[in-house]
Structures are given as structure tokens and as C-alpha cells.
Amino acid sequence: QKEVEQNSGPLSVPEGAIASLNCTYSDRGSQSFFWYRQYSGKSPELIMFIYSNGDKEDGRFTAQLNKASQYVSLLIRDSQPSDSATYLCAVTDTNAGKSTFGDGTTLTVKP
């Protein structure tokens, strides 16, 4: 079993819809959770980070964390074609100071 698993894609949504991206992790000691967006051929860029249980909103993006279920998600509201990219979930072992990445979910937003 992989340490960080993301829902298999690709995920396709129509423009204006809500895109839901999911991630589960195996290490209960994980304390920091990140979502990165990676356009094809480019490097990842930070979208959201969350440390505490619950929801965190930033514009059209909402990160949700449930440590009891070892689950973190990213919701993208009013999806735009420019949101089409691969989204990487990263989970950090704070004590070790390193992150483990999932394989990513590729999102396509159709006009």
C-alpha cells in the first residue's frame, strides 16, 4: 500500500462545476498537508496547505482534513479551463522534515 494515495484519474468536469480531489495517507503521525498544482511540463506550485482538522478556504479552493479518517481533500468551485492540471497531494512527517507525494490526479475542465 502506498503511503499517500490519490483518487485515480483522469477527472473531467464541465466549466463552472465543483471538482473534488481526494487523498488518503497511512502515517497517523503526519501533521502537515499540502496540495500542489502541476501544469504539464512544469514544476509544482503550492495551492493550499492545512494543518488542523476541518475546512480551510482560499478563494475558489477549499481544503478539508480529517485526521481520524486519514483523509484530505481539495474542492475547486466554479472550475475553469485554466484549472486543468495535475494536482499533487503531499503529506509531511514533521519530525523527519520531509514530504511524501501522491501520484497525482489529472483534472480536465471542459468549456
Partner 1 sequence: DGGITQSPKYLFRKEGQNVTLSCEQNLNHDAMYWYRQDPGQGLRLIYYSHIVNDFQKGDIAEGYSVSREKKESFPLTVTSAQKNPTAFYLCASSPHGGNQPQHFGDGTRLSIL
104 binds partner 1 (CB under 8 A): yes
Nearest to 98 by CA among 34, 21, 8: 34
- Nearer to partner 1 by Cβ, of 66 and 94: the residue is 94
Task: Judge contact between 110 and 13, C-beta under 8 A.
Answer: yes
Q: Map residues 12-31 to x or -, x wherever contact with partner 1 holds by CB under 8 A.
A: -------------------x
C-alpha to C-alpha distance for 83 and 76, rounded to whole angstroms: 9
Peptide bond between residue 10 and the one before it cis (omega within 30 degrees of 0): yes
74 binds partner 1 (CB under 8 A): no
Which of residues 25, 37, 44, 84 is near partner 1 by CB under 8 A?
Answer: 44
43 binds partner 1 (CB under 8 A): yes
